[in-house]
């Protein structure tokens, strides 16, 4: 999850000129003041690019501040935004049942606002970023704390300190693709509505706190499992919220919107790789083509672009139902048609899906997704496959 944070936070840069003006403003004044300054500045392609990037980061900063306020600083679930470890809050506020829904709505709006600023496709648009300038005000105190720098939050290697990146025409499509990905995740969350499940968990925690606030009396003769409850209770709560949320009837309109966001993510990603392929410079690159070098020093294997485009093709085929998702109990040539569920979304019974009975309405015969596409990617990237998958979006 640190890899996700580092990738998403590398997107703010200067407006209008390659003098790192905006980058330095972020370092001195933070994302909020920088966003306001860019909004008040005359529009041009580089200003718009910087505004889109800063707006994107502000959305993430707001989400992490919301988590910090309620003390949800440990990774909640293995997913972007909710899976990032944050600095501890010594005096958290009580959690509201609407917390995740509110967070998701705010993220959706931030992603839409970011894209609204990224409408220009001017090939000369560019922005410069000094990595050391970036920080996120997680505790919302207006000051840069030692654990709020990008390098501290993202776990960058020391070799990346002082690195400078030039985001260019191709990277506009990369950023737009990421806004669609984050919006898709937020929309999917809203489609299942975790608020009722969170309310049940809050009610349980309230009752537990009430019990421990009272003297035990003569009835307290059973074994005391308080230490086990403290150790495993939070994990049990999170699992319960996820399982109970998936049992909800999803909103069909929001599922359709999620599908649309994923398709737009794929389209922007393809546009990004087409632009990267055509680049002939080698100027502080974010994601390089086979003839370029990355500004941060990592090396992409030769042929990364075509290999990732094959992954995108497979994802598109699954959304369209052209390729079926293999299932462990089915005969060869049979699989799950994801497009059928998207058209008629139903609650997700995890036990039923693992066993197979819940998948029955979506099973059919046809071409199943082969493992060759993903095996090719894992062979190319090796132990760093996860990091590169987050990078490539």
268 in helix, strand or coil?
helix
| Residue 209: Cβ-neighbour burial (10 angstroms; 0-12, 13-18, 19+) | exposed
Q: What integer is the mean pLDDT of 165-194?
A: 96
Cβ–Cβ under 8 Å, residues 201 and 244: no
Six token digits for residue 7: 């990738």
Six token digits for residue 133: 């300038």
Instruction: Give residue 253's pLDDT band: very low, low, confident or very high (50, 70, 90).
Output: very high
Q: Tokens 């062979």 — which residue?
A: 379
Give the integer Cα–Cα distance in Å for 23 and 164: 10
Six token digits for residue 194: 């975790």
Mind listing the pLDDT tens digit for each residue in 17-57?
443 688 999 999 999 999 999 999 999 999 999 999 999 99
Give the start-end residues of each E strand in 309-362: 334-336
| Residue 127: Cβ-neighbour burial (10 angstroms; 0-12, 13-18, 19+) | buried
Cβ–Cβ under 8 Å, residues 166 and 128: yes
Give the integer Cα–Cα distance in Å for 338 and 329: 17
Helix ranges, 131-216 (H): 150-154, 169-192, 195-213
Instruction: Give residue 4's pLDDT band: very low, low, confident or very high (50, 70, 90).
Output: low
Mind listing the pLDDT tens digit for each residue in 341-392?
999 999 999 999 999 999 999 999 999 999 898 899 999 988 888 878 888 8
Give the integer Cα–Cα distance in Å for 152 and 139: 15
């Amino acid at each position: 999850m640190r890899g996700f944070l580092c990738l998403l936070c590398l997107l703010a840069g200067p407006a209008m000129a390659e003098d790192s003006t905006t980058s330095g403003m972020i370092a001195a004044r933070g994302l909020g003041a920088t966003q306001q300054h860019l909004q008040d500045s005359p529009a041009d392609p580089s200003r718009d690019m910087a505004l889109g990037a800063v707006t994107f980061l502000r959305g993430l900063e707001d989400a992490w501040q919301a988590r910090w306020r309620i003390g949800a600083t440990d990774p909640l679930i293995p997913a972007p935004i909710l899976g990032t470890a944050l600095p501890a809050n010594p005096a958290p506020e009580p959690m509201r049942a609407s917390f995740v829904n509110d967070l998701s709505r705010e993220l959706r709006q931030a992603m839409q606002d970011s894209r609204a600023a990224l409408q220009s496709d001017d090939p000369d648009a560019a922005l410069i970023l000094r990595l050391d300038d970036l920080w996120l005000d997680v505790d919302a105190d207006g000051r840069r704390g030692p654990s709020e720098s990008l390098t501290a939050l993202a776990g960058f290697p020391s070799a990346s300190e002082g690195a400078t990146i030039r985001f260019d025409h191709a990277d506009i499509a990369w950023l737009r693709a990421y806004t669609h990905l984050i919006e898709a995740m937020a929309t999917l969350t809203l489609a299942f509505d975790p608020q009722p499940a969170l309310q049940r968990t809050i009610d349980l925690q309230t009752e537990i706190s009430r019990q421990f606030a009272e003297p035990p009396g003569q009835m307290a003769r059973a074994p005391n499992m308080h230490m086990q409850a403290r150790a495993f209770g939070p994990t049990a709560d999170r699992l319960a919220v996820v399982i109970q949320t998936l049992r909800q009837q999803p909103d069909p309109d929001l599922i359709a919107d999620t599908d649309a966001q994923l398709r737009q993510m794929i389209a922007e990603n393809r546009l990004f790789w087409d632009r990267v392929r055509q680049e002939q410079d080698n100027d502080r690159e974010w994601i390089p083509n086979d003839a370029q070098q990355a500004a941060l020093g990592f090396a992409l294997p030769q042929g990364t672009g075509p290999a990732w485009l094959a992954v995108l093709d497979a994802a598109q085929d699954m959304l369209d139902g052209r390729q079926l998702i293999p299932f462990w109990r089915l005969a060869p040539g049979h699989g799950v048609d994801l497009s059928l569920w998207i058209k008629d979304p139903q609650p997700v019974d995890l036990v039923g899906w693992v066993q197979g009975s819940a998948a029955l309405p979506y099973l059919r015969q046809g071409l199943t997704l082969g493992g060759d596409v993903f095996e090719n990617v894992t062979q190319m990237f090796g132990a760093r496959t996860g990091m590169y998958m987050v990078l490539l979006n």
